[in-house]
């Protein structure tokens, strides 16, 4: 069978530095880079909002809607495209999606009006779900005892892509204009498609049921595995807070208090990237069975981050500290959540990931829009109050979670 032979080949090629899990380091690195490059497409616009508002003569709330619509596109892709990762051969699916992403980015870079940019962002957001096909791909290659570590490494690339996307976008737009940000990313997607097509092993579909039944089975997974819904709701609250912060921070930094240039905003985003360092340790904590206590601590840390941002609204050092704390908290719960859901059903990891990511990206879309509206009506202080409040329901829900012994995954695992 192609799947078995390719997997054996991958294991034979493992480097001596990674004898514990047998997955080639260069393959893990490619999956991490690919995840980061594709998910970055969702965030390039965040530091450009002030510029786009002036170029297209839109309001603050309307311009913020660009981020919201991109995330809505991502949720749409999670619901309708990612489940195909269980139904189709993954390399072909990844190549096709990256091709569409490249076309959408070219359209965005050539947009002549704001609606055209919105439509291109919606399509590009939907097909950028390649990142969420690559992560289950990595999980399927890893043995059980090392799955958390390997997923953590791939996710560290994805999360670094989220955070560095703002820096790259700011720098490129300052040097060459905002259109080059989109056009340059289109070129990167084309190169990535070729690289992944040549390097990834073939993986046979894990199910042969019709597409409609694949979608229906995704909903059934939510009912079958309570842990899936619970972790999705946890992350929805956290990602809502994350999106509220990063959607509005460019307005703060370009405003009267700081008057940062696009380059200045990009440098600030580099500070937040330090939070990605928590991904590998979070994977190890998950492997050691510390998912529940670390999750509760992350909720508290996210609320604390917004308190720091609120009290230090006139001090860039405190705002930067808040960004690092928030990113660490959000990334930790994301790694822990994915580690939990990947244990629920090895034959449905793409669909499990689809339901999980779609759930919390709805929270992210809501957080982006609420953040824009809140900033428009109450300024940064109101945004920090909103951000501090969002993790609280998750923390209260977490208190209802009881650790159990001897239950099968999906019935009692959290």
Give residue 44's pLDDT.
92
Q: What burial letters (b/e) apply to 150-163, b meaning 16+ CB within 10 Å?
A: bbbbbbbbbbbbbb
Delineate the domains of the chain, giving CATH numbers in brackets. Answer: 2-398 (1.20.1250.20)
Give residue 403's pLDDT.
53
CA 55 to CA 231: how far, in whole Å?
A: 40
Per-residue pLDDT of the chain (414 residues; tens, 9 = 90+): 444 444 444 444 433 334 344 677 788 899 999 999 999 999 899 888 888 988 998 887 788 889 889 988 988 998 899 888 888 888 999 999 999 999 999 999 999 999 999 999 999 999 999 988 888 888 777 777 777 778 778 877 887 887 788 888 988 998 899 999 999 999 999 999 999 999 988 887 877 888 888 888 888 898 899 999 999 999 999 999 999 998 888 888 888 888 887 778 778 877 777 777 787 788 889 888 899 999 999 999 999 999 999 988 889 999 999 999 998 999 899 989 988 998 898 888 888 888 898 888 888 888 988 998 999 899 999 999 999 999 999 999 999 986 543 344 444 344
Give residue 337's pLDDT.
93
Contacts of 84 (CB under 8 A, 6+ apart): 93, 211, 214, 350
Give residue 22's pLDDT.
60
Contacts of 191 (CB under 8 A, 6+ apart): none
Give residue 202's pLDDT.
84
Nearest to 165 by CA among 270, 242, 61: 270
The pLDDT tens digits for 189-217 are 999 999 999 998 888 787 788 888 888 88
**DSSP, res 59:** -
Give residue 14's pLDDT.
38
CA-based Rg of the chain, rounded to a whole angstrom? 20
Give residue 391's pLDDT.
94
Residue 274 class from Cβ within 10 Å (0-12 exposed, 13-18 middle, 19+ buried)? middle
Phi, psi of 230, deg, nearest 5: -60, -50
Query: Is the CB of residue 136 less than 8 Å from the CB of residue 349?
Result: yes
| Residue 145 burial (CB count, 10 A) | 10
Give residue 339's pLDDT.
87
Query: What pTM was estimated for this model as a whole?
Result: 0.73
Phi-psi region of 98 (alpha: psi -120 to 50; beta: other; left: phi over 0): alpha
Give residue 282's pLDDT.
86
Q: Which two tokens stand for residue 28?
A: 């893990």
| Residue 338 burial (CB count, 10 A) | 30
Q: Where are the alpha helices (DSSP H) in 200-275?
A: 211-224, 226-254, 262-272
């Amino acid at each position: 069978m192609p799947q078995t032979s390719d997997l054996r080949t991958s294991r034979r090629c493992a480097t001596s530095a990674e004898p514990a899990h047998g997955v080639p380091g260069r393959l893990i690195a490619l999956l991490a880079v690919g995840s980061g490059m594709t998910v970055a497409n969702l965030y390039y616009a965040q530091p450009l909002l002030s510029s786009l508002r002036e170029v297209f003569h839109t309001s603050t709330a309307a311009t913020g809607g660009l981020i919201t619509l991109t995330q809505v596109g991502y949720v749409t892709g999670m619901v309708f495209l990612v489940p195909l990762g269980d139904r189709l051969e993954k390399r072909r699916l990844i190549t096709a999606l990256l091709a569409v992403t490249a076309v959408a980015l070219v359209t965005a870079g050539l947009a002549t009006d704001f609606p055209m940019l919105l439509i291109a962002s919606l399509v590009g957001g939907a097909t950028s779900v390649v990142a969420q096909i690559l992560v289950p791909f990595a999980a399927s290659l890893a043995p059980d005892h090392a799955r958390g570590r390997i997923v953590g490494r791939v996710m560290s690339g994805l999360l670094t892509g989220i955070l560095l996307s703002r820096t790259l976008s700011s720098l490129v737009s300052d040097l060459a204009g905002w259109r080059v940000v989109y056009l340059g990313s289109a070129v990167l997607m084309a190169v990535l498609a070729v690289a992944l097509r040549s390097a990834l092993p073939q993986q046979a579909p894990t199910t042969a049921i019709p597409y409609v039944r694949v979608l229906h089975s995704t909903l059934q997974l939510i009912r079958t595995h309570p842990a899936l819904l619970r972790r999705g709701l946890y992350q929805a609250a956290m990602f809502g807070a994350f999106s509220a912060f990063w959607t509005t921070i460019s307005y703060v930094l370009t405003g009267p208090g700081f008057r940062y240039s696009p380059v200045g905003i990009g440098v600030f985003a580099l500070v937040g990237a330090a939070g990605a360092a928590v991904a590998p340790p979070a994977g190890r904590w998950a492997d050691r069975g510390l998912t529940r206590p670390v999750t509760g601590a992350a909720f508290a840390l996210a609320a604390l981050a917004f308190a720091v941002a609120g009290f230090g609204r006139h001090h860039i050092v405190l705002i930067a500290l808040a960004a690092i704390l928030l990113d660490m908290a959000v990334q930790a719960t994301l790694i822990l959540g994915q580690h939990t859901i990947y244990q629920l059903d090895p034959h449905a990891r793409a669909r499990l990931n689809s339901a999980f990511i779609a759930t919390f990206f709805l929270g992210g879309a809501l957080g982006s829009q609420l953040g824009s509206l809140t900033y428009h009506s109450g300024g940064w202080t109101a945004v920090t109050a909103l951000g501090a409040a969002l993790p609280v329901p998750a923390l209260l829900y977490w208190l209802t979670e009881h650790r159990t012994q001897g239950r099968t995954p999906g019935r009692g695992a959290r």
